[in-house]
Amino acid sequence: MKKIITQLVLVFLVLSAVAQNSYNIIPLPKKLEPAAGSFSFKKGTSITITDPSLETIATLLADNIKTASGNVIAVKTGKAGASGIVFSLNNGLEEEGYTLKISSKKIDIQSKTAKGAFYAFQSLLQLMPPQIYATSTSTAQLTAPNCSIEDAPRFGYRGLMLDVGRYFFSVDAVKRFIDLMAVYKLNTFHWHLTEDQGWRIEIKKYPLLTSISSVRKETMVGHYSDQKYDNTPYGGFYTQEQIKEVVAYAAKKYITIIPEIEMPGHSQAVLAAYPQLGCNQDKMYQVQTKWGVSNDVLCPREETFTFMQDVLTEVMALFPGQYIHIGGDECPKTQWKESRFCQDLIKKLNLKDEHELQSYFIRRIDKFVTSKGKKLLGWDEILEGGISPNAMVMSWRGTKGGIDAAKQNHDVVMSPNSYFYLDYYQADSKTEPLAIGGNLPLSKCYSFEPDLPELTAAEAKHVVGIQANVWTEYISNINYAEYMTYPRALALSEVAWSTKESKNYENFKARLKGHMPSMDAMKINYSKAFLKQ
Ligand code: ACM
């Protein structure tokens, strides 16, 4: 009897010790077994790596520990059996996967690639006290709760888009956006670089794109219905050197950048500098100053194709990723209907109407992109007239475009506006700063299920992932962009990474609450509206 009581007391002690440990990892790992006790990072703690490819990540961890605690942690090469913190390679794991085993004696991190080790590093930081994110030196006692984690993502594409056309975001702001994506294991940054309201990327062959197309004479302020303007010129662009710098910066965080160059719609800024590419070559085009969809679109002349191919040639040289996004959305056909050139071309090519003319435009660009060894990506409108087999579709008008694309064997990124447009309000509009509209609380974001009943198992394999979009008509600075992005990007990250079976909003919300001190330590300007919802 005494023995049983002793055992019960022991079990109780272990359970309460485990209960004191918290594991607020977002996105939720595939498997996490809690355990009692914790690992203490002390003065003599060292990090061992078994392969040189792991040195950068080990050094990152050592740097964080040094800033947070003042302790200098040595990084050395050695065997997996070493004590302290050990990073080693394990070919049996998935490409982005890792295992993280924390005991009072040792932290054992295994991964197939450095990328997996980077994700293990992110999980470890989330388990540590918030001071681990400190940017100025502190003397925190650092610990990590014992546990055993086996992790790998559900989807290979986990993305966020930032629109830098409506408002321009500096290189530092973009780097900050990328920094935070990496914390939550997002791996694709979609850089929306051109818009009616501004062209943001230097193209050496066409200098007027930066001297003219990147600046608008004024900007709409307040609600669209107010029709008010600020009477102040606004502009900005990235030089090719800056683009290279951001691409390299993102690569260090295992984030691929997909550039977007819009065509044939959302191109009014191009026409302000190169009116010969429009349907009305005599028109005084200007860079758009108000929001909404412009009727001033590119005309499908040979000169336009040459121009866009030249632009894409420079863009492709800057971005090593496989995908080039060419927009393709929201191209009003008004001017094509009124254009003698377009109507003659429709007849000559034996096309049915202006919609088929748009397909002709996209297919020509698709051929060009494909011939250069890259893959075309576009909004779901590009599906309307047939595209090359390796082109990918980004479904934004709900999931229908994505479902159609998957059924036609195209890869798909699901980015349905009603779940993932982060310019929508996340709480009652009366209590929030001005936004474009809509109603998208955190729970709605989290509720998106990419496994759609309309798709067979084989078709569903074409859904490569999900993305949320930060359109910026009403978001003029990075601080506000962060507010609109967080914590909703965490919901996106969990839907993209964690298993379908583990999805549970209340559990997510509880972890998010526990993770808030870490977000505060990172100085993330996140919305707390979800606490009251
Ligand atoms: C879009 O929202 N026009 C892709």
Q: How many C-beta atoms lie closer than 10 Å to residue 309's C-beta?
A: 15
The tens digit of pLDDT for each residue in 17-75 reads 565 789 999 999 999 999 999 999 998 899 999 999 999 999 999 999 999 999 999 99
The tens digit of pLDDT for each residue in 311-334 reads 999 999 999 999 999 999 999 999
Non-local (6+) Cβ contacts of 269 within 8 A are 165, 194, 195, 196, 197, 198, 199, 213, 214, 216, 287, 288
What atom of ligand 1 comes closest to residue 379's alpha carbon? Answer: 4
The tens digit of pLDDT for each residue in 358-392 reads 999 999 999 999 999 999 999 999 998 778 888 99
What atom of ligand 1 comes closest to residue 329's alpha carbon? Answer: 3
> Ligand 1 within 6 A of 150 CB?
no
> Ligand 1 within 6 A of 424 CB?
no
> Ligand 1 within 6 A of 436 CB?
no
Contact 320, 248 (CB under 8 A): no
pLDDT of residue 28: 98
Contact 198, 214 (CB under 8 A): yes
Query: In this structure, which residue's CA is closest to atom 2 in ligand 1?
Result: 396
Say whether pLDDT at 495 is over 80: yes
pLDDT of residue 390: 87
Choose one of 330, 382, 467, 472 to mutate for the ligand 1 pocket test, by most ligand atoms within 8 angstroms of C-beta.
330
323 vs 217, 245, 257, CA distance in Å? Answer: 33, 19, 9
pLDDT of residue 385: 79
Rounded Cα gap, residues 394 and 329, in angstroms: 10
pTM, rounded to two decimals = 0.96
Rounded Cα gap, residues 465 and 499, in angstroms: 13
8-state DSSP, 201 = B
Contact 367, 351 (CB under 8 A): no
Query: In this structure, which residue's CA is closest to atom 3 in ligand 1?
Result: 329
Q: How many C-beta atoms lie closer than 10 Å to residue 365's C-beta?
A: 25
> Ligand 1 within 6 A of 396 CB?
yes
pLDDT of residue 10: 47
Residue ranges and CATH numbers for the domains of the chain are 2-151 (3.30.379.10), 157-506 (3.20.20.80)
